[in-house]
């Protein structure tokens, strides 16, 4: 987005008031596909489509339970709402959107596809994304979203290009309590204590941090988590203000990453490691810490029980812990399911995608215990785990948020951060080179 929208504090505070939200009521038009008390959808009686079966191709994430469960829930629900539609799933690649961009370049976009802010920007310019405003109006979707979640629905131009189905998460640094206890390491609260912990784990052949550096965004998020201790804008400050990598908050963040890397934070093979492998190492006690978004709590609770813990951003200088911990790293931006304007069944695909996304949002709450973004959301089937409660408590203290890399609108600056932070993580790249290279791109990109 050309004017990056940081998640409002109200959106974050819904994390701490989940149960109050779920009782929120509203008057929704009968055409709106919102769950009714009997489990049916108002759209079931209003959705009209061709009598013959239509197959829509959907490009969606489907690699673990956090993705499979809401997808399957939505698919089952849509078989009742729009039974004339069959889905052909194309599993979304974890490749920074290269595959979907290749589809677009070849004129072969799936009818429906998962998207994010940067992909929306790219496809807006190339004419490969459908504006959903008239379909949203027809179905009354804007009336279904909680007011605090609407910032992830509307783009800065006032239009809608995708329907979100997940809450606005912030990033977290998780720790394996059993590993910390085994090696008598106290959960760190500042950068000095974190470096000391890394050294202990490395000495005992434990991977200090499971970072799935096969993807570049976790490294940028680590940089943001550190920089936002001193500049609450974090990485957004580098594209939305006159901040530079040479400024204290960012140069110190680079120095702290270098310090952690030199202490042995990054495991051999980290740059070929995907999330599934990183998660397994962490759960099995071969890695002491894990970096990811708050959505990881949905996996960690069931897999680890009370053995999963949450560190409150232990990156501040000693003595600055209390002041800095209210600055959250991460936040929400527009994204979700979008539709190809070139689809043979454009109108049908748009109505299906909208309702499918809403059902996926419902499924996340019911089956996964995610924080609701819709009014009248049902209660989770399983009570919140301890790590989810810890996450809610952490976010309840937030006074500001930043963004995930996909929430940055300046592609040049984002790419520079991805590449240069990745180089920092190798240990073969100096802080001075990071600053010089990054500032050079910032100067040309503004």
> Can you list the alpha helix ranges (DSSP code H) found in 44-172?
65-81, 98-105, 117-126, 133-139
Mean pLDDT of 96-109: 96
Mean pLDDT of 184-199: 98
Distance CA 124, CA 269 (A): 37
Residue 58 tokens, joined = 């959907």
Residue 359 tokens, joined = 């059902």
Q: What pLDDT, on the 0 to 100 scale, is given for residue 51?
A: 58
Distance CA 156, CA 1 (A): 7
Mean pLDDT of 223-232: 96
Of the spans 23-27, 180-184, 390-394, which averages the highest pLDDT? 180-184
pLDDT above 50 for 5: no
Least confident of 266-270, 272-276, 368-372: 368-372
- Work out the percent of the chain whose per-residue pLDDT is above 90: 73
pTM: 0.71
Domains and CATH numbers, the chain: 9-168+333-378 (3.40.190.10), 171-329+388-445 (3.40.190.10)
What phi, psi does 72 have (nearest 5°)? -65, -40
Distance CA 234, CA 221 (A): 9
Per residue in 398-408, pLDDT (tens digit) is 888 899 998 88
Residue 143 tokens, joined = 């009336």
């Amino acid at each position: 987005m050309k004017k990056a929208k940081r998640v409002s504090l109200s959106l974050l505070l819904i994390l701490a008031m989940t149960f109050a939200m779920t009782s929120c009521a509203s008057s929704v038009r009968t055409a709106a596909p919102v769950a009714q008390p009997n489990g049916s959808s108002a759209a079931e009686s209003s959705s009209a489509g061709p009598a013959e079966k239509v197959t829509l191709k959907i490009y969606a994430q489907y690699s673990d339970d956090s993705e499979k469960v809401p997808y399957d829930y939505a698919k089952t629900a849509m078989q009742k709402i729009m039974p004339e539609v069959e889905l052909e799933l194309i599993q979304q690649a974890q490749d920074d959107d290269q595959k979907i961009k290749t589809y677009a370049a070849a004129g072969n976009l799936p009818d429906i596809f998962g998207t994010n802010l940067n992909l929306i920007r790219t496809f807006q310019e190339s004419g490969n994304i459908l504006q959903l405003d008239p379909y949203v109006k027809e179905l009354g979707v804007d009336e279904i979203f909680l007011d605090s979640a609407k910032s992830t629905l509307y783009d800065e131009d006032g239009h809608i290009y995708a329907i979100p189905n997940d809450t606005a998460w912030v990033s977290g640094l998780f720790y394996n309590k059993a590993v910390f206890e085994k090696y008598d390491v106290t959960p760190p609260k500042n950068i000095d204590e974190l470096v000391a912990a890394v050294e202990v784990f490395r000495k005992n052949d434990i991977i200090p941090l499971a970072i799935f550096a096969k993807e570049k965004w976790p490294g940028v998020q680590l940089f943001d988590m550190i920089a936002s201790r001193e500049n609450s804008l974090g990485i957004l400050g580098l594209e939305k203000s006159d901040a530079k990598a040479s400024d204290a908050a960012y140069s110190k963040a680079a120095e702290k990453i270098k310090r952690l890397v030199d202490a042995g934070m990054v495991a051999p093979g980290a740059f070929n490691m995907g999330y599934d492998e990183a998660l397994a190492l962490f759960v099995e006690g071969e890695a002491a810490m894990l970096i990811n978004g708050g959505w990881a709590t949905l996996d960690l609770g069931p897999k680890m029980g009370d053995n999963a813990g949450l560190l409150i951003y232990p990156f501040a200088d000693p003595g600055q812990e209390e002041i800095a911990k209210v600055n959250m790293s991460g936040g929400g931006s527009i994204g979700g399911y979008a539709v190809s304007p070139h689809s043979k069944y454009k109108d049908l695909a748009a109505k299906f995608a909208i309702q499918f996304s809403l059902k996926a949002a419902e499924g996340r709450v019911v089956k996964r215990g995610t924080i609701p973004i819709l009014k009248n959301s049902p209660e989770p089937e399983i009570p919140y785990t301890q790590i989810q409660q810890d996450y809610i408590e952490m976010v309840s203290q937030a006074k500001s948020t930043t963004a995930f890399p996909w929430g940055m609108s300046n592609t040049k600056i984002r790419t520079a951060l991805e590449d240069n932070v990745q180089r920092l993580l190798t240990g073969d790249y100096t802080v001075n080179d990071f600053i010089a290279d990054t500032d050079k791109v910032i100067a040309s990109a503004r």
